[in-house]
Amino acid sequence: MGNAIKLACLECGTANRFPEDAATRGPKCGTCGAKLLDGKVRAITMAELQKAIRTDDLPLVVDFWAPWCGPCRAMAPQFEMAAKKLAGQVRFAKLNTEDHPKATQRFRIQGIPALIRFKGGKEAARLAGARPAGDIVKFAGAKARA
């Protein structure tokens, strides 16, 4: 199979493994059929985030946000554009800190929006404040597969 990529399904939580060259062909979860790398931002829970951090071989960029936060809402379309641009290379998700208040403590979030890039089971980088899509793409580190 050559090099394989492992990803947790952000819909059902199943760990999936597929050939690296299939990443751009839209791999699907073997359990629920959800697309794993479709360039869309997924709303996730703390449990789903923790599973993805432990499982994913690709970088995962998470937007910690809240519905009452104007800059968070303003950045959402920029975050979605970055996700589309890096489809197949980096996964993007958002976690509502109002629905999951323990996330702010667990990940030491001091202000929102806050972006954290996870890689290799741990936090690799963070970026505070609303940013344009170009900055988010650079931050996501599309070449960080290694």
Q: How far apart are CA 114 and CA 72, in angstroms?
A: 9
From 9, 29, 32, 69, the catalytic residue: 69
Q: Are 62 and 31 in contact (CB under 8 A)?
A: no
Q: Is 9 a catalytic residue?
A: no
Q: Is 29 a catalytic residue?
A: no
Instruction: Tell me the Cα Rg of the chain.
Output: 14
Q: Name the maximum alpha-carbon separation found in the chain.
A: 46
- Sign of the Cα torsion 115, 96, 75, 10 reads positive
Q: Other C-beta atoms within 10 Å of 15: how many?
A: 16
From 9, 12, 32, 72, the catalytic residue: 72
Active site residues: 69, 72
